[in-house]
């Protein structure tokens, strides 16, 4: 973080130091966690018997995480600070990526003690156990349904509770209270996303997204650890109100932009469904734009479709978004994405969760992106499968 940024942030921090940002509209609202005690108890339960001794924490010299995701980056920042603070002369390898690149670059990990955070440990990652000293996995995705080697130590909330960052905090700082900053990221990323007494987490995470995980200006600083050091200052700084306010203003800007973009969507047929369609796809706004299209065209469309060509991956990406409740959403979006993904000829296929899905479509002589819009590629059986 530059000296100018630190100076400006200190001025803003001083302005909001006595503010206690609470959501005044909570009323009789139900919370997933009714107290901090309940939050901490469930966190302890999910961590279970998993632990990394102080000696073993210091031995970790490689961290694998998702630098484009708040949960992954915060998880890495917590572990990175602990390790470099306790063993400052260690040679740390940082891989801020998904498992695909990890396996392509696995030679770098030979002989290392590895920590993997916020990445599902899949069966094709088992070769890591053969070349690494020890592999620790702290995650919130699915628990592996296959046998783990003895040198792979894993804990996961199994998509049912806390995010990775909260589990990482308890593993590395078991005697310290979980700071509000980590709770906010945990709540925004996990299935149980509210706690009585803590509000406006989406503004806090919006600020982190803009400042760190989706900031193209600092993309080359993840491997050096600089971004993780700066993120730790936010995590441990006690300035949650400041970052909520920053996120608030950022959120207002995004809301304005997505409404202007979404108004360009048109109603069109997509595999026999009425959809709001727009040739727009970016890493920051497209999810918001999809929801705004649904709001603008409510009652007229089944779901929203955004698409674009990704030059780096040499493929098309199609993002599907349905109404976020079972009453209004009549299409099984993940199932539709999986079926169409198989027809698209790209190795990543398609899939999704809940009310959203993504399809990857090849650009070659056998696949025409316009077939998705001009032809019905679904069989009668497949159509029945995707209807709710």
Beta carbons of 362 and 344 less than 8 angstroms apart: yes
Mean local confidence (pLDDT), 372-379: 93
Residue 182's pLDDT is 97
User: Comparing C-alpha atoms, which of 280, 281, 275 is closest to residue 372?
Assistant: 275
Dist CA 235 CA 78 (whole Å): 8
Distance CA 210, CA 124 (A): 33
The token pair at 234 is: 């936010």
What would the mean pLDDT of 145-160 be, rounded to a whole number?
A: 92
pLDDT at position 261: 96
**Can you read off the two tokens belonging to residue 197?**
């007494």
What tens digit of pLDDT does each residue of 225-275 get? 999 999 999 999 888 888 888 888 888 888 899 999 999 999 999 999 999
Tens-place pLDDT, residues 52-92: 999 999 999 999 999 989 999 999 999 999 999 998 877 89
Strand 273-278 relative to strand 266-270: parallel, antiparallel, unpaired? antiparallel
DSSP 257: H
Distance CA 132, CA 98 (A): 18
Find residue 387's DSSP bridge partners.
331
pTM: 0.75
* 331 vs 281 pLDDT, higher one: 331
Residue 204 · residue 243 · CB < 8 Å: yes
pLDDT at position 36 over 80: yes
Percent of the chain scored above 70 by pLDDT?
A: 91
Mean of the per-residue pLDDT values of the chain:
90
CA distances from 88 to 59, 81, 85, 221, 371 (A): 11, 10, 6, 19, 56
Q: Inform me whether the pLDDT recorded for 24 exceeds 50.
A: no
Q: What are phi and psi of 153, to 5 degrees?
A: -110, 120
Longest pairwise C-alpha distance within the chain: 63
With cut-offs at 50, 70 and 90, classify the pLDDT of residue 313. Answer: confident
- Asked if residue 41 lies in contact with residue 70, where contact means CB atoms within 8 angstroms, the answer is no
Q: Average pLDDT for residues 311-317, to the nearest whole number?
A: 91
Query: Could you please report the per-residue DSSP string of 155-213?
Result: EE-TTSS--HHHHHHHHH-TTSPPPHHHHHHHHHHSSS--BTTB--HHHHHHHHIIIII
Q: How confident is the model at residue 160 (pLDDT cuts 50, 70, 90)?
A: confident
The gap from C-alpha 222 to its chain's centroid, in whole angstroms, comes to 17
Residues near 68 by beta carbon (within 8 Å), at least 6 away in sequence: 96, 213, 214, 283
Which H/E stretch holds residue 44? helix 36-47
The yes-or-no verdict on residue 315 having pLDDT over 50 is yes
Q: Is the pLDDT of residue 7 over 70?
A: no
Query: Average pLDDT of 291-297?
Result: 96
pLDDT of res. 2: 62
Which helix (H) or strand (E) is 314 found in, with range? none
The arithmetic mean of pLDDT across residues 93-105, rounded, is 79
Go through the domains of the chain in sequence order and give each one's CATH number.
20-250 (3.90.1640), 263-386 (3.10.310)
Q: 80, 95 in Cβ contact below 8 A?
A: no
Q: What is the pLDDT of residues 44-60, one digit of tens each?
A: 999 999 999 999 999 99
- Among the residue ranges 12-21, 133-142, 154-163, the one predicted with the least confidence is 12-21
CA atoms within 13 A on the CB side of 306: 25
């Amino acid at each position: 973080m530059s000296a100018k940024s630190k100076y400006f942030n200190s001025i803003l921090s001083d302005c909001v130091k006595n503010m206690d940002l609470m959501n005044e509209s909570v009323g009789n609202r139900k919370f997933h966690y009714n107290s901090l005690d309940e939050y901490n108890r469930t966190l302890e339960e999910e961590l279970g018997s998993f632990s990394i001794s102080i000696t073993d924490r210091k031995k970790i010299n490689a961290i694998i995480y998702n630098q484009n995701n708040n949960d992954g980056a915060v998880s890495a920042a917590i572990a990175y600070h602990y390790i470099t603070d306790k063993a400052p002369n260690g040679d740390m390898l940082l891989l801020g990526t998904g498992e695909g690149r990890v396996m392509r670059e696995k030679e770098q990990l030979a002989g290392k003690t590895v920590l993997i955070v916020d990445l599902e440990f899949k069966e094709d990652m088992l070769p890591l156990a053969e070349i690494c000293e020890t592999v620790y996995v702290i995650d919130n995705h699915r628990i592996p349904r296959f046998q783990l080697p003895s040198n792979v130590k894993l804990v996961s909330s199994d998509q049912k509770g806390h995010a990775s960052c909260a589990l990482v905090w308890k593993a590395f700082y078991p005697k310290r209270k979980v700071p509000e900053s980590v709770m906010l990221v945990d709540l925004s990323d996990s299935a149980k996303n509210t706690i009585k007494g803590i509000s406006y987490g989406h503004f806090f995470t919006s600020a982190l997204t803009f400042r760190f995980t989706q900031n193209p200006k600092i993309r080359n600083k993840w491997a050096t650890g600089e971004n993780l050091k700066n993120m730790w200052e936010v995590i441990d700084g006690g300035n949650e109100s400041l970052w909520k306010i920053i996120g608030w203003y950022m959120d207002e800007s995004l809301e304005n932009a997505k409404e202007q973009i979404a108004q360009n969507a048109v109603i069109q047929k997509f595999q026999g469904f009425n959809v709001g369609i727009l040739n727009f796809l970016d890493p920051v706004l497209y999810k918001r734009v999809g929801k705004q299209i649904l709001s603008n065209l409510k009652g007229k469309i089944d779901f929203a479709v955004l698409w674009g060509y990704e030059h780096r991956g040499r493929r098309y990406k199609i993002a599907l978004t349905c109404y976020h409740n079972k009453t209004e959403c009549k299409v099984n979006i993940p199932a539709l994405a999986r079926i169409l993904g198989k027809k698209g000829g790209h190795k990543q296929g398609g899939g999704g969760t809940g009310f959203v899905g993504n399809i990857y479509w090849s650009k070659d002589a056998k696949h025409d992106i316009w077939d998705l819009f001009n032809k019905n590629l679904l069989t009668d059986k497949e159509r029945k499968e995707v209807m709710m």
